[in-house]
Structure 1
Amino acid sequence: MKAFQVRAPHEFSIAEVAVPTLAPGEVRVGVAYAGICGSDMHIIHGQNAFVRFPRVTGHEFAGVVREVGAGVSGLAVGDPVCVDPVIACGSCYPCRIGRPNVCSRLQVLGVHRDGGFSEEVCVPAANAHRLPPGLPLAQAALVEPYSIALNVLERMQFLPGDGLLIYGAGVIGLTLVQMARALGIADITVTDVLDDRLATARTLGATRTLNGRETNVEAAMREATGGEGVPLIVDAACHPALLPEIVRLASPAGRIGLLGFSATPSELVQLEIIKKELTLVGSRLNNGRFPRVIELLATGRLDAAALISHQVASQEMPGAIELIERHPEQTRKVLVQWGGNA
């Protein structure tokens, strides 16, 4: 079968690979659409410490069940599904306390094992979520990035009336805007350095946008909050140099959500954190958020179509990667069509 395979950093192609063997407890999914994520770009550049090459990447995908393995119930051939890429052991400490997304033996589809940039993929049946009638497979491929947004917002324990500041208006920043709106957060500020992305953020519900190259974000937010600071801040830009500013901008009792995987140290003043009793929340992947996201999409409270800027055939994926690299201002979510009942 055809798949997008990364053989080594900067070495990738559409290749012929072996059809995966279906194990008991798994389903075989014919992939219809898979989204290109920043994490996929990191793998291509050799910037992911967890991946082993060669690897079929892709962790945001939806398709149709083509075969059901032994012992599987609740799914049938022909069912449309989206797939949660988080595979946990179920027995380690994080799993025992209900945090399988940070399992000690975590496997992520498209990172630790082959993923969804392929015509077919075999996944644990528990990870395949049946879609309600009427939800397009293209939109269902975005359940995973929305689950990232839902996970961090719920971990931050937002309260009625809390204002939210989002650093970064890439796809994760934009999913945060939509998710925050769907959850009832009304005051949403987004900062980025690309005006096109900020315009999209406004279209999706941001109440205030700031271009960080043209505006002193810290001064602007102090003025906007009357000097009180911001209760909720999410770093979706994932740049360690931003963290000191974020800590200064957070209000007393504020919550800061961190999504980046950088190994670069950040300089933090302990006094700022303690005197304001700030909560710094790391958020990785998602912890069982798929059903809630599917519900929000199916009821129209999230608009996945607004995030999709391009759809390309599988053979055009290398060119799509070049487009994302060279012209980030022109892209939001780029979907790759693999033909599984798309």
Structure 2
Amino acid sequence: MKAAHIYGARDIRVENIEIPELQPGTVKVKVEFAGICGSDMHEYLAGIYPIRKQPVLGHEFSGVVTEVGEGVEGIMVGDKVAVEPLIPCGHCKNCKRGMSNLCTQSQGYGYSFSGGFAEYAVARAENVFVLPQNMSLELGALVEPTAVAVHAVRQSQLNLGDSVAILGAGPIGLLLLQAVKAAGAGRIFVVEVSEERRDKALELGATHVINPVTTDAVQLINEMTDGGVDVAYDAAGVQATFESGIMIVRPGGEFKIVSLWEKPVNFNPSIIVKTEAKISGSYAYNNLFPEVINLLASGAINGNAVITSMIALDDIVEKGFEQLTKDRKQCKILVNMSL
């Protein structure tokens, strides 16, 4: 089968490899759609993560079941499915505390095991979720990033009617926007340099969009909220958004960091000392796939709105990774294995 291998920074190659073997308790999936994630981009631009144990990328993917291993129940050949990539150990302290996303021995598809940028994938049955008949496989590939956004909102101190700022309107930012709206946020400010992404944010329910290149977002948000939003979410991961985030939350508010970072940031802790605001992180998700599938299938979160391109696996570098480095109009690019 064909699969996309990463060998280092800006070195991804589509090569022919053996199809993973079906094992007892596992399911073989013919991959139909797989999304390029921000974390994939970090590896492409900055180099391979230490956690990577094999080269086949892709952890946001959906497909159709072609084989079912011995002992598997509730999943049948022909089922449309989404695959959850996280494989917690179930035994460490964090797993026992109910925080499997923070498992100290975690593995994952697309990192420890062959991922979704391949024609076929084999996954544990407990990582395979059957999609409703009315839900497309394209949306199935959006379950993983949507779970990231929903988890971040659930982990934050957002309450019904609260004001929110979202810094960055890429895929996670736009999914965060819809998640906070579904959770009952009041005013929603989106700060984004791309005009196309600002327009999309308005379409999806932002009450205010701000171009930080032409407008002082910190001053404007603080003026409009009389001292800052209740919760700000960073979905960009750069120095400018970090600086803005800590300056636009009200005293006692929360700055929730959802993005991954390629570089450290400079930070004066006195800003937080003087406001008693919180800086907190959000990593992946925890047992959320069933709920997120329902949100996407029902249209409560519009996953289709963040998809901007469909490309073939053979074009994953030039029309995928390279395109995302230079075209701010792009949001979520899906690899369509049928192209």
TM interval, shorter chain, is over 0.9
Please give the root-mean-square deviation of Cα atoms over the aligned residues, in Å: 1.8
Paired letter, 1:311 = M
1:303-335 per-position Cα deviation (integer Å, ceiling 9, x unaligned): 111111111222222222255245322311111
Cα pair distance change 1:91/1:175, threshold 3 Å: same
Cα pair distance change 1:196/1:86, threshold 3 Å: same
Distance in 1 between residues matched to 2:153 and 2:189, nearest whole Å: 15
Kindly report which structure 2 residues correspond to 1:212-227, keeping only aligned pairs within 5 A, or say none: 212-226=212-226
Deviates more, 1:252-261 or 1:14-23: 252-261
Kindly report which structure 2 residues correspond to 1:303-342, keeping only aligned pairs within 5 A, or say none: 303-321=302-320, 323-339=322-338
Distance in 2 between residues matched to 1:175 and 1:213, nearest whole Å: 23
CA contact (8 A) 2:42 2:262 kept: no
Distance in 2 between residues matched to 1:286 and 1:44, nearest whole Å: 23
Paired letter, 2:3 = A
Q: Give yes or no for the alignment of 1:43 onto 2:43.
A: yes
Q: Give yes or no for the alignment of 1:96 onto 2:100.
A: no
Cα pair distance change 1:243/1:320, threshold 3 Å: same
Distance in 1 between residues matched to 2:246 and 2:99, nearest whole Å: 26
Kindly report which structure 2 residues correspond to 1:240-319, keeping only aligned pairs within 5 A, or say none: 240-262=239-261, 264-319=263-318
Q: Which residue of 1 aligns with 2:12?
A: 12
Cα distance, 1:48 vs structure 2? 4.3
Q: Secondary structure of the residue that 1:18 maps to in structure 2? A: coil
Cα distance, 1:164 vs structure 2? 0.7
Distance in 1 between residues matched to 2:126 and 2:235, nearest whole Å: 29
1:122-145 per-position Cα deviation (integer Å, ceiling 9, x unaligned): 111111111111100011111111
Cα pair distance change 1:17/1:51, threshold 3 Å: farther
Cα pair distance change 1:324/1:126, threshold 3 Å: same
Distance in 1 between residues matched to 2:48 and 2:148, nearest whole Å: 18
Distance in 2 between residues matched to 1:224 and 1:293, nearest whole Å: 32
Q: Which residue of 1 aligns with 2:85?
A: 85
Taking only the aligned residue pairs, the percentage that are identical comes to 36
Q: Secondary structure of the residue that 1:55 maps to in structure 2? A: coil
Paired letter, 1:22 = L
Distance in 2 between residues matched to 1:263 and 1:36, nearest whole Å: 17
1:247-271 per-position Cα deviation (integer Å, ceiling 9, x unaligned): 2221122111112333643333334
Q: Which residue of 1 aligns with 2:2?
A: 2
Distance in 1 between residues matched to 2:254 and 2:54, nearest whole Å: 39
Cα distance, 1:34 vs structure 2? 0.5
Q: Which residue of 2 aligns with 1:76?
A: 76
Paired residues, number: 339
Cα pair distance change 1:95/1:201, threshold 3 Å: same
Distance in 2 between residues matched to 1:175 and 1:3, nearest whole Å: 28
Cα pair distance change 1:261/1:307, threshold 3 Å: closer
Q: Which residue of 1 aligns with 2:65?
A: 65
Cα distance, 1:77 vs structure 2? 1.3
Paired letter, 2:61 = F
Paired letter, 2:261 = S
Cα distance, 1:53 vs structure 2? 6.7
Paired letter, 2:256 = G
Cα pair distance change 1:280/1:180, threshold 3 Å: same
Gaps of 5+ in 2: none
Q: Secondary structure of the residue that 1:72 maps to in structure 2? A: coil
Paired letter, 1:127 = N
Q: Secondary structure of the residue that 1:291 maps to in structure 2? A: helix
Q: Which residue of 2 aligns with 1:25?
A: 25
1:90-109 per-position Cα deviation (integer Å, ceiling 9, x unaligned): 00011000111111011122
1:8-39 per-position Cα deviation (integer Å, ceiling 9, x unaligned): 33222221011112222211111010011121
CA contact (8 A) 1:7 1:53 kept: no
CA contact (8 A) 2:27 2:124 kept: yes
Distance in 2 between residues matched to 1:12 and 1:323, nearest whole Å: 11
Q: TM-score, normalised by structure 1?
A: 0.93
CA contact (8 A) 1:50 1:111 kept: no
Cα pair distance change 1:108/1:53, threshold 3 Å: closer
Distance in 1 between residues matched to 2:22 and 2:69, nearest whole Å: 6
Deviates more, 1:8-17 or 1:91-100: 8-17
Distance in 1 between residues matched to 2:275 and 2:42, nearest whole Å: 35
Cα pair distance change 1:209/1:203, threshold 3 Å: same
CA contact (8 A) 1:36 1:58 kept: yes
Distance in 2 between residues matched to 1:180 and 1:48, nearest whole Å: 32
